[in-house]
Structure 1
Amino acid sequence: MPRYDYRCRACGDTFEISRPMAEATTPASCPRGHSDTVKLLSTVAVTGRGGGPAPAPTGGGCCGGACGC
């Protein structure tokens, strides 16, 4: 289930809520009871298995080198 980050405009606290994507736009209340909150933009980092460079391509052309192009 996705987690969404929010910041309370009243007290400045930042908090997260896990909820289904269908409820992503539903307003969230601050844990302290304030209702003036804003959803924060979250970033996602995706990395490969080893974090190293991608392997060099093998073959070439449209068929992976089988036609000699």
Structure 2
Amino acid sequence: MPTYEFRCKACGSTFDVKRPIAEASDPATCPHGHDDTVKLLSMVGLAGKASAPATGGGGCCGGGCCG
């Protein structure tokens, strides 16, 4: 089941809620009892090192420097 991160606008605390994807946008109550919360954008699936595209060489020695 996915975990969604929320932040409370009243007290500033952040907290996680596990719920089905169908309920992802439903409101969540802060653990301190506040109802004014906002769902945060999760970077879990987006984080990671980007790789450079492979290049096919070029130059006089297949991409190396001749000299």
CA distance in 2, matches of 1:17, 1:35: 14
* Secondary structure of the corresponding residue to residue 31 of structure 1: coil
CA distance in 1, matches of 2:34, 2:28: 9
Q: Deviations over 1:29-64 (max 9, x none)?
A: 0000000000000012577xxxxx7xx8xxxxxxxx
Determine the structure 1 residue equivalent to 2:23: 23
* Secondary structure of the corresponding residue to residue 26 of structure 1: coil
Instruction: Tell me the TM-score normalized by structure 1.
Output: 0.64
Distance 1:21 1:10, change over 3 A: same
Q: Are 1:32 and 2:32 counterparts?
A: yes
Distance 1:36 1:20, change over 3 A: same
CA distance in 2, matches of 1:2, 1:18: 6
Instruction: Tell me the TM-score normalized by structure 2.
Output: 0.66
How far residue 4 of structure 1 moved from its aligned partner, in angstroms, is: 0.1
Query: Number of residues paired by the alignment?
Result: 50
